[in-house]
């Protein structure tokens, strides 16, 4: 079945550091890939998505590229801010499937 | 704002009591979902609905039932709550025509504690 493996957390970085959160997936078809973010005490919000190979999703300075050859969708940001502190979830939805499969989440803390 | 609310937001109950959580949406999304979030497990799907009176099980459905009698409401019921059902429960919606059918929008969550 489908699965998503995320980089273990927690991750702590200084403000303005470069961020990478790794995500790899296993899927039987041609999935769409997502990154969701959860701020403290809130529900999940869609951060970015990509629907086919080599697509790049981007939002709020975050980027992720759909790499079919390595089955990966790593999240990157060039210069993180304290306000980026949150839990980040990688997820996939296989073609024709309305359900999402989530990774276990990566807690990110940015210190000033 | 996808127009999704959950009630109650917090609940403490005792083992063996029935509990019902409500998810309400205002934008006519076709699909509705219930997840639970636990440390080390991410989000796990409990049940979902693909239309009024149409529901199906997710990966952790044991001990839970759902009902959807109208488009805007999706109820999750714990018939006899157990301590292992202490969790944060999230409702999600998807399937509006203007957005990708598999792009889900989440409610604020319900924190349930079973003593």
pLDDT the model gives residue B84: 96
Cα–Cα distance measured from residue A5 to residue B7, given in angstroms and rounded to the nearest whole number: 32
Question: How far does the CA of residue A101 sit from the closest CA of chain B (Å)?
Answer: 8
Question: How far does the CA of residue B54 sit from the closest CA of chain A (Å)?
Answer: 14
pLDDT the model gives residue B1: 57
pLDDT the model gives residue B100: 63
- Cis link prior to A40 (omega < 30° from 0)? no
- Average pLDDT estimate for A76-95: 94
Query: What residues of B are in contact with residue A34 (Cβ under 8 Å)?
Result: 103
The verdict on A106 touching B (C-beta cutoff 8 Å) is no
pLDDT the model gives residue A29: 80
Are B75 and B66 in contact by the 8 Å Cβ rule? The answer is: yes
Maximum CA extent, chain A? 44
Beta bridge partners, A88, equal A37, A106
Q: With bands split at pLDDT 50, 70 and 90, how would you rate the model's confidence at B78? A: very high
Higher-pLDDT residue of A9 and B108 is B108
Cα–Cα distance measured from residue B75 to residue B60, given in angstroms and rounded to the nearest whole number: 16
Q: Is the pLDDT of residue A106 over 60?
A: yes
């Amino acid at each position: 079945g489908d699965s998503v493996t995320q980089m273990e957390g927690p991750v702590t970085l200084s403000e303005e550091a470069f961020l990478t959160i790794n995500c790899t997936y296993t899927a039987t078809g041609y999935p769409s890939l997502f990154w969701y973010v959860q701020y403290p005490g809130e529900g999940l919000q869609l951060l970015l998505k990509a629907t086919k190979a080599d697509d790049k999703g981007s939002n709020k300075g975050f980027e992720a590229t759909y790499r079919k050859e390595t089955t990966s969708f790593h999240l990157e940001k060039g210069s993180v801010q304290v306000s980026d502190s949150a839990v980040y979830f990688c997820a996939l939805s296989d073609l024709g499937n309305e359900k999402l499969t989530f990774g276990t989440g990566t807690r990110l803390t940015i210190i000033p | 704002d996808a127009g999704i609310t959950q009630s109650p937001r917090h609940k403490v109950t005792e083992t063996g009591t029935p509990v019902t959580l409500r998810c309400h949406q205002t934008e006519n999304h076709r699909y509705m979902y219930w997840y639970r979030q636990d440390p080390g497990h991410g989000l796990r799907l409990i049940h979902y609905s693909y239309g009024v009176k149409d529901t199906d099980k997710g990966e952790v459905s044991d001990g839970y039932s759902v009902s959807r009698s109208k488009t805007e409401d999706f109820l999750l019921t714990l018939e006899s709550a157990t301590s292992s059902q202490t969790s944060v429960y999230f409702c999600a919606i998807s399937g509006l025509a203007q957005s990708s059918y598999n792009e889900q929008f989440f409610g604020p969550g319900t924190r349930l504690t079973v003593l």
